[in-house]
Structure 1
Amino acid sequence: MKIDGPRLDAASGKAKNLVVFLHGYGADGNDLIAIGREWQELLPDTAFVSPHAPEACAGAPMGRQWFSLTFRDPHERWRGCAQAGPGLDRFLDEELERQGVAPERLALVGFSQGTMMSLHVGLRRRISPAAILGFSGMLVGPEHLATDATARPRILLMHGTHDQVVPFDALFMATEALAKAEIPAEFHIAHGLGHGIDGEGLRQGGAFLKAAFKGVKTPQVAASQG
């Protein structure tokens, strides 16, 4: 299935940056695109897209999944990310071309399973994205980072202390594994928050993306000498 989903054009009329939202298990692209509307004033030169994951979700018939989860196989997340990764990577290339945005001006914003995919694909991009922002997720296959990671984007991970779906400890497991692979990451602890995104997370996330895009130095093509 071809990956596609709802989009928001840059408020300024010309996109210089691209934010791709990756939704969680059992949701779809409509679940996160509203965040783009909240960030349009802060990021006026940014286009937003929130693709639907390619598979129907067995656990939520009206929703989608990046990969299936049985919670019985300890390796299913790694296999799932590895299988879904190439298709998502192609979508990112196509969307950057569609928007006319340089690949280093890409940011991935994930929630739960979407965070797993954001980290998996974002850290393996040929040209590093500007940023990865992950809510309520985890780093899948940290033991593979040393050999697989090709990108060093800015990373901010957020997690609620009362998350009942993805354990809160996944935040520290991810940041420690990233540090071991010499990939620095910031984190934010949302005290009392369950499996979700709160207003403070949106505020900090938007500010993080704005700073990340501001720090990108897009290579300039030298003028030809005639």
Structure 2
Amino acid sequence: MTLEAVVCSPVAEHRATVIWLHGLGDSGDGFAPIVPELNMPSELGVKFVFPHAPIQAVTINGGMKMRSWYDIVSFDLDKRADEQGVRESAAKVEQLIEQELASGIAADKIILAGFSQGGVIALHLAPRFHQALGGIMALSTYMCAPSKFADEAIHTDLKVLMVHGRQDPVVPMDAGKQAFDVLCTNGLDAKWYDYPMAHQVCGEEIALIRQWLIERLH
């Protein structure tokens, strides 16, 4: 079943797509208000797609059902991401990418972005996808199964923007740095930025994201 999503269509002709995955307990509506803040140049024709994660029980939250890309059974970093759940959600997001390709958008004009849990999916899926995408935006996030990355990654020439909060109490910055190191070790063109913030997105970061997207999609 295809994921439902909030879609922000471009004013001009559709030329590029950003698929942006939310964090645990949020929805596609959570990040949609960022589109007017980004104020992308109309000539780039950027469509934003904000999918809703499936609703499922989350172990660390007492089994409460909420929107989640995968279950979290432990706060320990090496056990935090349920690998099977990550792979299942990645397959669902892959369908969204295929829809964009089928509509005539080139793979290098598709950006996969994600915050927290959504970033885990983005970092997992994009390097393993059968075509090289325009880039990955991984915000306040970490990596699932880093030990399998070298064997499974198809595209190691991807551009990656990683941003993290120095005071993040949910995903420690060290977890983000570990993912960044894995990307760099495997030859990906990853850039790292951190800000004095918690588990959130700040104004300076939005300006950075805007500039990065313009460079990737011009």
TM-score normalised by L of structure 1: 0.86
Maintained 8 Å contact 2:40/2:210: no
Q: Which residue of 1 aligns with 2:32?
A: 33
Look up the SS of the partner of 2:212 in the other structure.
helix
By percentage of residues, which structure has more helix? 2
* Equivalent residue letter for 2:169: Q
State the 1:157 CA deviation.
0.3
CA contact (8 A) 2:2 2:95 kept: no
Aligned residue for 1:45? Answer: 45
Q: Which range is displaced more, 197-206 or 41-50?
A: 41-50
User: Equivalents in 2 of 1:144, 1:113: separation in Å?
Assistant: 18
3-state SS, counterpart of residue 211 of structure 2: helix
Deviation per residue, 1:10-64 (Å, 9 max, x gap): 122x111100110001111001111122224335410011000123354496841
TM-score (normalised: structure 2): 0.89
Q: Which residue of 1 aligns with 2:56?
A: 56
Structure 1 counterpart of 2:215, from 202, 211, 217: 211
Q: Which moved more, 1:79-88 or 1:58-67?
A: 58-67
Identity of aligned residues (%): 25
C-alpha distance in 2, partners of 1:39/1:45? Answer: 13
Equivalent position of 1:114 in the other structure: 118
- Give the aligned CA root-mean-square deviation in angstroms: 2.0
Specify the alignment match of 1:3 in structure 2.
3
Give the match's secondary structure for 1:94.
helix
How many equivalent residue pairs? 211
Q: Which runs of 5+ in 2 are unaligned?
A: none
Does 2:101 correspond to 1:105?
A: no
AA aligned opposite 1:7: V
CA distance 1:179–1:37, change in 2 (3 Å): same
User: Structure 1 residues 91 and 29 mapped into 2: Cα distance closer, same or farther (>3 Å)?
Assistant: same
Shift of 1:106: 0.4
Distance 2:75 2:50 in 1: 29
Partner residue of 2:177? 172
What is the DSSP-based 3-state SS (H/G/I as helix, E as strand, rest coil) of the residue aligned with 1:203?
helix
SS in 2 for 1:157: strand
Q: What amino acid is aligned across from residue 17 of structure 2 in structure 1? A: L
Return the alpha-carbon distance in structure 2 between the equivalents of residues 15 and 108 of structure 1.
17
AA aligned opposite 2:152 = D
Q: Which amino acid aligns with 2:110?
A: L
| CA contact 1:111–1:135 (8 Å) conserved in 2 | yes
Change (3 A) 1:134 1:72: closer
Q: How is 1:1-226 mapped onto 2 (pairs within 5 angstroms)? A: 1-12=1-12, 14-42=13-41, 44-58=44-58, 59=61, 63-71=66-74, 74-75=78-79, 77=81, 78-98=83-103, 100-151=104-155, 152-191=157-196, 193-214=197-218
Q: Is there any run of 5+ residues in structure 1 with no aligned partner, and where?
A: 215-226
Q: Distance in 2 between matches of 1:186 and 1:62?
A: 35
Closer, same or farther: CA 175–141 of 1 in aligned 2, 3 Å: same
> Equivalents in 2 of 1:111, 1:189: separation in Å?
14
